[in-house]
Chains A and B, each alone.
Chain A
Amino acid sequence: MVSNTPPDAKALSKSVNVAVARAIKSANGLPKIGDNFELVASYPAFSQLMDAERVRMIELLKRLLRHGNCKTKIPSPIRDNDEFFDRLIEANDSILERVGNLLDEAEGIRKPEDVAVPVSTEDFAESTTASSKTLFKIPLTQGRKAGQQRKAVATLPSASGSKILKKPQVQYSIPVDNSAAPFVPKLKIKHHSRPRKSGNVTIADDANSGREWLSDENESMHPYQYELDYYEPPAAQLELGTVTDPLPVEETPLVYVDSVEKLTELRDILNKEKEFAVDVEHHDYRSFLGLTCLVQISTRTVDYIIDPFPIWQHMHILNEPFVDPKILKVFHGSNKDMEWLQRDFGIYVVNMFDTGRAMRLLQFPKFSLQYLVQLYCNESLNKEYQLTDWRIRPLPSDYQTYARCDTHYLLFCYDKLRQRLLESSNERKNLISAVYTASREICLTVYSKPQFDADGYDRFVTIRKSLNNRQLFALKELWRWRDETARTNDESCAYVLPDHMLLQIAEALPREMQGILACCNPIPALVKTSLHELHRIILAARERPLEAKMTLTKNPPTLPTDARRSSLAWLNTPHDHSFSKIDEEIRPLARGDESRLEAVVEKQYSRLLNLMDTICKEQPSIHLFASAVDAAKQAASPNKGTSPNKGTSQKQATSLKRSFADWASPYDCYRVAVTKREEEELKKRAAESEQTAKKSKWSHHDPSSGRGSKPREIRSTPIEDSSETAEEKAEVAIGIDEEMTLTDRALRKRRKNEKGTTDVAFNLKETPAEPSQMKKGKWSDETRHANIQPVDYSNFASDIFNQKPSKAGTFDPHRTSSVRRGRGGRRGGRRGGGGGLDRARPKTQSFGGRNK
Chain B
Amino acid sequence: MTATTSEKKICVPGERLFADGEEHRSGKGTHSTHGFIYASVAGFLHVVPSPIGEEKASTVEVRRFEDDDHAVPFLGAIVTAKVLNIGSRFAKCSIVCVGNSILSHPFNAQLRREDIQATERDKVEVQKCVRPADVILARVIGLGDNQTSFYLSTAEEELGVVFGTSDAGFKLIPISWTHMQCSLTGDKEQRKVAKVPNLNLKTTSS
Contact = CB atoms under 8 A, between A and B. Distances in A.
A664 B72 CA distance: 22
B102 interface: yes
Contact of B174 (A617, A622, A624, A760): A760
Contacts of B42: 571, 573, 576, 589
Interface stretch (A370-378, A590-598, A646-654, A715-723): A590-598
B146 interface: no
Interface residues of A, number: 53
B100 interface: yes
Contacts of A542: none
A665 B205 contact: no
Contacts of B82: 614
Given A573-B13, A578-B29, A759-B176, A667 B80 contact: yes
A582 B104 contact: yes
Interface string A603-620: 010011001001111011
Interface string B1-28: 1101100000011100000000000000
B183 A619 contact: yes
A663 B174 CA distance: 19
A624 B183 contact: no
A385 interface: no
Contact of B78 (A621, A662, A670, A758): A670
Interface string A561-581: 000000000010101111010
Contacts of B184: 620-621
A677 B196 contact: no
B71 interface: yes
B197 interface: yes
A674 interface: yes
A624 B137 contact: no
Contacts of B64: 587, 589
A659 B14 CA distance: 40
For the side of the interface on B, what is the size category?
A: 35 or more
B1 A673 contact: no
Contact of A669 (B71, B196, B205): B196
Interface in B34-81: 40-43, 52, 64-65, 69, 71-72, 78, 80
Contacts of A615: 135, 162-163
A669 B96 contact: no
A778 B56 CA distance: 42
A585 B29 CA distance: 12
Interface in B85-143: 96-97, 99-105, 119, 135, 137
A617 B165 contact: yes
A578 B41 contact: yes
B69 A670 contact: no
B97 A611 contact: yes
B158 A674 contact: yes
Interface in B146-201: 157-159, 162-163, 165, 169-171, 174-178, 183-184, 193-200
Contacts of A758: 195
A672 B204 contact: no
Given A584-B71, A584-B103, A591-B2, A665 B97 contact: yes
A699 B22 CA distance: 41
Contacts of A665: 80, 97, 100
Nearest to B52: A678
A231 interface: no
B162 A666 contact: yes
26 contacts: A578-B29, A580-B71, A582-B71, A582-B72, A582-B103, A582-B105, A584-B71, A587-B65, A589-B43, A591-B2, A592-B1, A604-B102, A608-B102, A611-B80, A614-B135, A615-B162, A616-B171, A622-B171, A622-B203, A625-B203, A666-B162, A668-B199, A670-B137, A670-B158, A678-B52, A760-B195
4 closest pairs, A vs B, by CB?
A: A584-B104, A664-B199, A583-B104, A669-B196
Interface of B: 1-2, 4-5, 12-14, 29, 40-43, 52, 64-65, 69, 71-72, 78, 80, 82, 96-97, 99-105, 119, 135, 137, 157-159, 162-163, 165, 169-171, 174-178, 183-184, 193-200, 203-206
Given A604-B102, A614-B82, A669-B198, 18 more contacts: A573-B42, A576-B41, A578-B41, A584-B104, A589-B43, A591-B2, A591-B65, A607-B102, A621-B170, A622-B203, A662-B203, A664-B200, A665-B80, A666-B162, A672-B197, A677-B158, A758-B195, A759-B176
